[in-house]
Structure 1
């Protein structure tokens, strides 16, 4: 169901602004002319996110002279760079031609990136187990003022457990499916994640990436949700604003423990996974409390778990969320555009990349989920060589996070996103607070 925003807005260009111009971009495809007009429309969407947007009261009727401004063919590359700087990106990619298929992209990848290497796979397990054990040791020895650093390390280390289970779910860890199912289940247990429910849900995310209703990962808020009630509206503002780096906790609860959300042929495996998780909680948590007390449970399990969810939420929202990346209805959706053009590569500090097994080299993972995590960098290099102009790339920075947390809120078919503070400025104090206190440097 496509959401439509009924609010009227008036786009004012200040005295120092001139209409944005664009140029046709030379591409590697002879069909580039197909999508010039599409890119012009995309550029115009970006204008609405700039300072010149002034919200008006709901239901107020205004008359204005519509002055269509078609960007000239002079500056589209320059404007893309301008948007990249504003949003915190290293590069905003050109639109992918409509006639490019996902198979076209997959066929350009070297065959070796799909090969499973048992030594590399089990080395990733060793890295995660060792780094997690080191984290637990640091927590046990750290004075109180160094505990946040120990928690950050340990939470990042157990995020590596998630990535290992993630590879198992995609049949990208071992040639033995039973080994993958057992290891995936065990790797998810410290996270209290039921492996099979997550796997079924996540497969649908890959099949329907950035599809407005069908994508089972995060998607924009629909206006119908936003208008449901004042209480829900405030909860949504908090969840998609200040608490968004931990919103995966709500997603975890809503999606993974309700048997009714799964197909009949999935239910048995879902129940087995749930039984494993509840058994771990019933045995593991009392043991931790018996040995270390309630405060020990908080120190050794809860705080690293919250650190894991910080990365789970941050990685997920950065992978597919930006003002220029649309969510589309199923009848408009294009697999290649969603997976190549609608997925973001983001570089993090090297220690995070190592502990999390390169999960943020995310574009090749969406081109083919069968690529093992240890081959993602080689696959990304190939994609850069063959499809570089179409890629969205960033290095993690505060401006990128500020853009996501303060702009990417309610779905709008013409503009992609409308911010909460534009739709309900009198209630949007969580968003105005973030705009005031978050750093703005890239």
Structure 2
């Protein structure tokens, strides 16, 4: 009997009984093989433009020109930083390069750029793959989601905190700065020595890079560039993660009824983005494909999607109709859908 990919089921919590996968799932395994040349090209076409944008922003700040021009360049740089985060995400799954060593090395390099510790984030993210859409296993690598019953039974303070957390200003605005500048500076819940050392090493490297850049161009220039770039990239990244699992028609279930294939096909969105945005987001919009095959590299997700007809049965989430997802706040177990307050 075939079972779900171990990478997607990593979790220390008790999991539901593993179920047999449909016959077409085995066809996805041929897309798991990484291509080092494609991976190297992705590294180059992501890091080189990002570095060039930093040089341009440094020039605009030091020349005394309009800061609005710097911010305009920061928007583009943030988009490239989102792409770099997707490469970091592939390294977490060991899917960018064939070599585990290369994935770990570049995982740390990308982690410094995106202010995210490699091993610590890997720990929580793999738990997310084993627990997403499972109402009894929330709390790892996901966005805080309450059921309507839980919300109604909570204290006024908890309800207020939840309302504030789910507001766009906090979730996408303050949340981005909090997560990438503060939250990821400390180890996550249930982590072990390996993950804690990853946090420490990443923090030291971030400080070292900041000191070197500040020494070269000045603290003011560094802050005027780094702060908007990490904030915008963080907000874009959180939005992508939000719409991947918070949309109309999404699937959630209690532990005993949780099905990994349904969780992937119905609990993860197919975010049908325009080609440029799809490239900048590293094909992560094919999120149902990613959850069905976490070891498939980002540069092969579309290839897999095009080759297996059943994957196209997912109703796409467009850029326009995805905006309505922000109003969804609570899971109504009676209606089996996300609802507004």
TM-score (norm 2): 0.82
In the TM superposition, what is the alpha-carbon distance from 1:382 to its structure 2 partner? 2.2
In the TM superposition, what is the alpha-carbon distance from 1:344 to its structure 2 partner? 0.9
- The change in CA–CA distance for 1:262 and 1:331 in structure 2 (over 3 A counts) is same
1:388 alignment partner, one of 312, 325, 341? 312
Structure index of larger Rg = 1
Q: Partners in 1 of 2:136 and 2:28 — Cα distance? A: 30
Deviations 1:101-156 (A, max 9, x none): 54534223372x22211100111100111121132133234432233321111111
Equivalent residue number for residue 33 of structure 1: none
Equivalent residue number for residue 27 of structure 2: 108
Instruction: In structure 1, list runs of 5 or more residues that go unmatched.
Output: 1-99, 421-442
Equivalent residue number for residue 418 of structure 1: 339
Q: Partners in 1 of 2:102 and 2:266 — Cα distance? A: 34
1:184 equivalenced with 2:107 (yes/no): yes
Equivalent residue number for residue 119 of structure 1: 37
TM-score (norm 1): 0.65
- Root mean square deviation of aligned Cα: 2.5
- State the secondary structure of the residue aligned to 1:212: coil
Deviations 1:208-246 (A, max 9, x none): 221124242125224546764545433432321222324
Equivalent residue number for residue 162 of structure 1: 85
In the TM superposition, what is the alpha-carbon distance from 1:278 to its structure 2 partner? 1.6
Deviations 1:236-258 (A, max 9, x none): 32321222324355556897555
Instruction: In structure 2, list runs of 5 or more residues that go unmatched.
Output: 1-18, 61-65
1:310 equivalenced with 2:235 (yes/no): yes
CA contact (8 A) 1:124 1:357 kept: no
CA contact (8 A) 1:154 1:304 kept: yes
Equivalent residue number for residue 261 of structure 1: 189
1:404 alignment partner, one of 296, 311, 325? 325
Q: Partners in 2 of 1:234 and 1:319 — Cα distance? A: 25
- The change in CA–CA distance for 1:190 and 1:110 in structure 2 (over 3 A counts) is closer
Q: Partners in 2 of 1:102 and 1:258 — Cα distance? A: 38
Of 230-239 and 325-334, the range deviating more from structure 2:
230-239
Equivalent residue number for residue 54 of structure 2: 136
Taking the TM superposition and a 5 Å limit, the aligned residue runs for 1:30-429 are 101-109=20-28, 111=30, 113-142=31-60, 143-215=66-138, 216=140, 217-222=142-147, 224=150, 228-243=154-169, 244-246=171-173, 247=175, 249-250=177-178, 256=184, 259=187, 261-263=189-191, 267-383=192-308, 385-389=309-313, 391-397=314-320, 399-401=321-323, 403-406=324-327, 408-415=328-335, 416-420=337-341
Deviations 1:145-179 (A, max 9, x none): 23332111111111122111211111112222122
- The change in CA–CA distance for 1:352 and 1:330 in structure 2 (over 3 A counts) is same
Q: Partners in 2 of 1:248 and 1:105 — Cα distance? A: 38
Equivalences, count: 312
- State the secondary structure of the residue aligned to 1:358: coil
- The change in CA–CA distance for 1:296 and 1:109 in structure 2 (over 3 A counts) is same
Q: Partners in 2 of 1:134 and 1:126 — Cα distance? A: 12
Deviations 1:367-398 (A, max 9, x none): 11111111011111123x23433x1312211x
- The change in CA–CA distance for 1:386 and 1:328 in structure 2 (over 3 A counts) is closer
In the TM superposition, what is the alpha-carbon distance from 1:286 to its structure 2 partner? 2.9
